[in-house]
Amino acid sequence: MENSTSLCSPRMLKGFRDTFTQEYLARRWLVNNVQKVYERYGFAPIETPALEYVDVLGKYLPECDTAEEGIFSFRDLDREWIALRYDLTAALARLVALYPELPKPFRRYQLGLVWRDEKPGLARFREFYQLDIDTVGCASMQADAEVCAVICDALTSLGFVVGEYQVKVSNRKILNGVLEKAGIDSLDSKGNLTEIGLTALRAIDKLDRIGLRGVMELLGPGRKDESGDFTKGAGLNSDQIIWIEKFLQIQAKSREQFCKELDALVGSTVIGKQGIDELLQIDQFLSAVGYTNSQVVFDPTIVRGLSYYTGPVFETVLTIPYHDEHGNERHFGSIFSGGRYDGLVERFLGYKVPATGASIGVDRLLEAMKCLGRINMPKATAQVLITSMDSQLMPEYQKLAFELRRAGICTELFMEKAGLKKQLKYADQWDIPLAIIVGSNEVSQHKVTIKDLRKGRELASEIKDRDEWRRSQPAQVIVDREALISTVQQMLAN
Sequence-ordered list of residues with C-beta below 8 angstroms from that of 307, at least 6 positions apart, any chain? 60, 192, 193, 198, 201
Sequence ranges of the domains in the chain:
384-493
Q: How far apart are CA 491 and CA 493, in angstroms?
A: 5
Task: Determine how many CB atoms are found less than 10 A away from the CB of residue 207.
Answer: 17
For residue 474, pLDDT over 70 is answered with no
Confidence (pLDDT) at 201: 81
Q: How far apart are CA 420 and CA 311, in angstroms?
A: 64
In the β-sheet with 106-115, what is the strand arrangement from edge to edge? 44-45, 106-115, 127-136, 355-361, 334-340, 312-318, 165-171, 296-298
Q: How far apart are CA 93 and CA 349, in angstroms?
A: 10
Q: How many helices (H) and strands (E) does the chain have?
A: 18, 20
pLDDT digits (tens, 9 = 90+) for 347-382: 999 999 999 999 998 998 998 998 888 887 788 999
- H helices within 236-377, ranges in order? 238-248, 255-266, 270-289, 346-349, 362-371
pTM: predicted TM-score of the whole model, two decimal places: 0.86
pLDDT digits (tens, 9 = 90+) for 197-213: 888 888 888 888 888 89
Q: Give, for 478, the enclosing helix (H) or strand (E).
A: strand 476-480
Asked whether 13 and 125 are in contact (CB, 8 A), the reply is no
Q: How far apart are CA 194 and CA 182, in angstroms?
A: 15
pLDDT digits (tens, 9 = 90+) for 120-133: 876 678 999 999 99
Confidence (pLDDT) at 63: 42
Q: What is the mean pLDDT of residues 171-178?
A: 91
Q: How far apart are CA 267 and CA 254, in angstroms?
A: 18
- Comparing 1-5, 46-50, 397-401, 408-412, the range with the smallest average pLDDT is 1-5
Confidence (pLDDT) at 39: 98
Nearest to 184 by CA among 157, 220, 215: 220
- Comparing 25-34, 111-120, 243-252, 326-335, the range with the smallest average pLDDT is 326-335
Confidence (pLDDT) at 459: 61
pLDDT digits (tens, 9 = 90+) for 218-243: 888 888 888 888 888 888 888 889 99
CATH superfamily placement of domain 384-493: Anticodon-binding domain (3.40.50.800)
For residue 295, pLDDT over 50 is answered with yes
Q: Who has greater pLDDT, 450 or 469? A: 450
What separation, in Å, do the N-terminal and C-terminal C-alpha atoms of the chain show? 59
Q: What is the mean pLDDT of residues 394-402?
A: 96
AA letter at 68: E
Secondary structure class of 490 (helix, strand, coil) = helix
Q: How far apart are CA 238 and CA 413, in angstroms?
A: 74
- Comparing 101-110, 187-196, 283-292, 428-437, the range with the smallest average pLDDT is 187-196
Q: How far apart are CA 89 and CA 81, in angstroms?
A: 19
- Comparing 30-44, 153-167, 271-285, 296-310, the range with the smallest average pLDDT is 296-310
Q: How far apart are CA 359 and CA 380, in angstroms?
A: 29
What is the SS3 assignment for 217-248?
HHHCCEEECCCCCEEECCCCCHHHHHHHHHHH
Read off the DSSP letter of residue 392.
G
Task: Determine how many CB atoms are found less than 10 A away from the CB of residue 405.
Answer: 14
Res. 20 pLDDT band, cuts 50 70 90: very high
Most confident of 59-68, 195-204, 259-268: 259-268
Residue 373, sorted as left (phi over 0), alpha (psi -120 to 50) or beta, turns out to be left
Q: How far apart are CA 185 and CA 192, in angstroms?
A: 11
Res. 65 pLDDT band, cuts 50 70 90: very low
Q: Give, for 360, the enclosing helix (H) or strand (E).
A: strand 355-361
DSSP-assigned letters across all residues of 39-82: HHTT-EE----SEEEHHHHTT-BTTBS-TTTTS-EEE-TT--EE
Q: Is 163 exposed, middle or buried (0-12, 13-18, 19+ CB in 10 A)?
A: exposed
Q: How far is CA 79 from the centre of its chain?
A: 35
What share of the chain has pLDDT > 70, as a percent?
92
Q: How far apart are CA 150 and CA 69, in angstroms?
A: 32
Res. 464 pLDDT band, cuts 50 70 90: low
Q: What is the mean pLDDT of residues 241-263?
A: 92
Q: What is the mean pLDDT of residues 81-99?
A: 94
Q: Who has greater pLDDT, 226 or 5? A: 226
Secondary structure class of 27 (helix, strand, coil) = helix
Q: How far apart are CA 479 and CA 299, in angstroms?
A: 61
Res. 3 pLDDT band, cuts 50 70 90: low
Q: Who has greater pLDDT, 426 or 200? A: 426
Q: Is 267 exposed, middle or buried (0-12, 13-18, 19+ CB in 10 A)?
A: middle
Asked whether 107 and 12 are in contact (CB, 8 A), the reply is no
Q: What are phi and psi of 230, to 5 degrees?
A: -105, 135
Q: What is the mean pLDDT of residues 56-75?
A: 64
Q: Tell me the chain's radius of gyration from C-alpha atoms.
A: 29
Confidence (pLDDT) at 2: 54
Nearest to 339 by CA among 374, 375, 304: 304
